[in-house]
Structure 1
């Protein structure tokens, strides 16, 4: 009995968490019942166990304050198609009796979510025509930059190699240990859906380019300490870093990223109005255009 009431029992701890969750959800339900309109934000990601998790946030006005209520994560690994996700979202809205109040919806920008023809937003609008869909403008910026690079084989190869360089160290603790000793800085991971991660990665490679080449030379000069794959890849990355084309791409994209990163932060800022954001988008396009004309 003492163990149970001391808080060491996982069953009691889970019961307490569920009780707190029920109280919070009841408060949210009470606020939503009083709100005239509701917006929904849905994001989907894959966790460390390779399961698809969906998070749902309801946005509404309580008296004079705008509130966002996080409702939790749910596993949707069994069916990630648009109809199933749409049914899930409508089910969540139904639990809070706010389907008829829905006037806005926004998602992570993936095709299954955002497609105008068969995506989740289209399925939702079949049930609630007033639910206007808004695509995250910061995510749109990521997509524009990503697709612009994919249009050019040289740029596509450059970023694939940059991502491979980061993975080269992240996949081996022995390589990472040498990186820590020589460079004293780890390479950030590149995320396909977050272009800002490529920006940090390119900037880090630019700053520590000579130190990275020193790491590869240490590997090449001590072949008995490393496996064949490591030696071959180290020689390849050392050669890649020495090329004039690599230096050109690093320099060019550092200039582009300095502008687009600033714009990304503006688009992510909740206090910026749409007029200011539009002006910054035009300014950024003008700067990038001038940089292109100078090359």
Structure 2
């Protein structure tokens, strides 16, 4: 600040701009270019229509007479502080700051009582419209009708406008707005819907991202998969897994993104963009879970490209998918394939004809009236374990399926069936072939064997899809399943004898002969098993359970080996493992995570104390989250706690992505197959995060900030005038 020189009492005196003036007069600002002071408040908010105010010191010209700064009579700063136009400017400044904190409250509406009342009414109207949008989103309802534009009340305009009209019957304010308000400012158009859906979706995303950032570590993993929607477009789903501040594991859907190409580069770029747009740092990513497709799992695939940006984001091949591949690979022998083909043929034979399906339902009512299930279930095309439910139903209906096929072939033998059923020649031929296949003992013993073997892994498949399951517990469940399969393999003779007796009883009910296929020379046999066996039981024991169990065990050991799961290195810190392992070996394996530890130089001694603590426990925690809460005190074991939290963050399956696709199929149907991905993501976020509370006030605030609204038009005009004056 440049000093000034004045002549006082014949002496030259140098005056300086005092720093104390800034503290006393908060509105005072110094202009370097003008070498003087100004009143910021009056410059921005004073009414400058009066020329005297426009040219006053501190407003129209700088304050340079430093000798007259303060004083009762000539004090420029003191007198300016008491001027009416200055006090009015201060009042307008306070109103403006209040508006910044609450954008839905404009300056004009606060000054004018009538405008304030109009503002309250408009906010209530917006609240009602937002409630209707949220209702449709939460319950997965389509908002728009076939023709929802125009003002023709005779046309069905969809659920959203129907809800608005229903609300208007009980809301007089909304009713007057729809009847008397401007047609171009009713705020029920598709564009307003898109804006509100987008704002609500972003609010849900911000809630999830905030929970990640508030967690102890701030770390997360991504779960992603790709699907083709009803418009034949490729869509990728982004989901995150994290541990919140209460040590609870979450898997949450974040966003859908359309893909023009599904190359590794395109997918990785899209995932990283969605992560950054959501406000997350890729450097905090500690895992990524996909299926086993090469474009995702290969070193040069999506996971490899993402690891170049986030080196610690280890890839996990979805456990559920690996289990499914293991079962599928072990069920490729001829007998199981024939069984699957037969079940599919039978299901389609009944399902493709309402007449045949109704006939089977009548057979169940006549021969099994106590049964509540009336239809067969089809085999899942992709998940072998999900076929267990179908196989259970199929075995329960086996006897009645045979009766159904025989009744179609020979209707005169079933007088109990009324209704005058007549069948075509093609129906009888097909039913006769299916009847012959079902009365073959090979079909019965194969069905029984597959049922009992898959029964062991079915609970595992169900458990693996749980969101709260940590990767250590999942690995233990797989180890338990392997042990159970090995125990079954060791006792296969006694176990299969029991299965064989059960199959014989079912064969007796349907009139099947318990015989083994005829054997032929090995060189001539190409299309069926030709194992030696003295008895029928010995033959089928060698053909079915032994092969099935051996292949399944081999597949599980291969796909879930430590070589294929690099995240296994962190398992040594789990209580169940640390008591059995050497601390030195565990310490070496944990070097990869040193940078994530608060004090990694103390890790070795901390692991020794951790092992002693776990060894003293009568009952070790069953899960990692339980170990964190009960044993891993943050002050005593900071490094161990951080490692356990990282292990909880590591993904187990990509089931969350599959769940998001289920919501996608319900939301984007053939009847509403054209919508932006922003709208699609917002609707799916509302539906998936059904229990999350949405702050309507924040939605209104963001909606008003996006652009000028006719409902608050006067306030926006006031802002424009104020900015021009300044």
Could you tell me the TM-score, scaled by structure 2's length?
0.36
Output the CA distance in 2 between the equivalents of 1:50 and 1:186: 31
Task: Say which SS state the counterpart of residue 185 (structure 1) adopts.
Answer: coil
User: Match for residue 297 of structure 2?
Assistant: 115
| 1:102 lines up with 2:285 in the alignment | yes
Which stretch of the first structure deviates more once superposed, 115-124 or 9-18? 9-18
Structure in which a larger fraction of residues adopt strand: 1
Cα gap change, 1:13 to 1:173, in 2 (>3 Å): farther
Task: Say which SS state the counterpart of residue 261 (structure 2) adopts.
Answer: coil
User: Match for residue 197 of structure 1?
Assistant: 386
| 1:178 lines up with 2:359 in the alignment | yes
Match of 1:166 among 311, 322, 347: 347
User: Match for residue 27 of structure 1?
Assistant: 207
How large is the Cα RMSD of the aligned pairs? 3.2
Match of 2:334 among 146, 153, 172: 153
Shift of 1:130: 1.2
Shift of 1:186: 1.9
Higher alpha-carbon Rg: 2
| 1:287 lines up with 2:469 in the alignment | no
Output the CA distance in 1 between the equivalents of 2:195 and 2:263: 33
Task: Say which SS state the counterpart of residue 7 (structure 1) adopts.
Answer: helix
User: Match for residue 261 of structure 2?
Assistant: 79
| 1:70 lines up with 2:253 in the alignment | yes
User: Match for residue 67 of structure 2?
Assistant: none
Match of 1:144 among 326, 350, 355: 326
Match of 1:277 among 477, 480, 483: 477
Output the CA distance in 1 between the equivalents of 2:306 and 2:359: 52
Larger RCO (CA within 8 A; separation ≥ 6): 2
Shift of 1:199: 1.3
Q: Which runs of 5 or more residues in structure 1 are unaligned?
A: none
User: Match for residue 218 of structure 1?
Assistant: 407
Does structure 2 conserve the Cα–Cα contact (< 8 Å) formed by 1:7 and 1:13? Answer: no
Output the CA distance in 2 between the equivalents of 1:226 and 1:14: 55
Output the CA distance in 2 between the equivalents of 1:163 and 1:46: 25
1:197-227 C-alpha deviation (Å, 9 max, x unpaired): 2212222111111111222223334695447
Task: Say which SS state the counterpart of residue 134 (structure 1) adopts.
Answer: strand
Q: Which runs of 5 or more residues in structure 2 are unaligned?
A: 1-150, 166-187, 365-372, 412-420, 497-540, 542-726
> What is the aligned residue count?
291
Could you tell me the TM-score, scaled by structure 1's length?
0.82
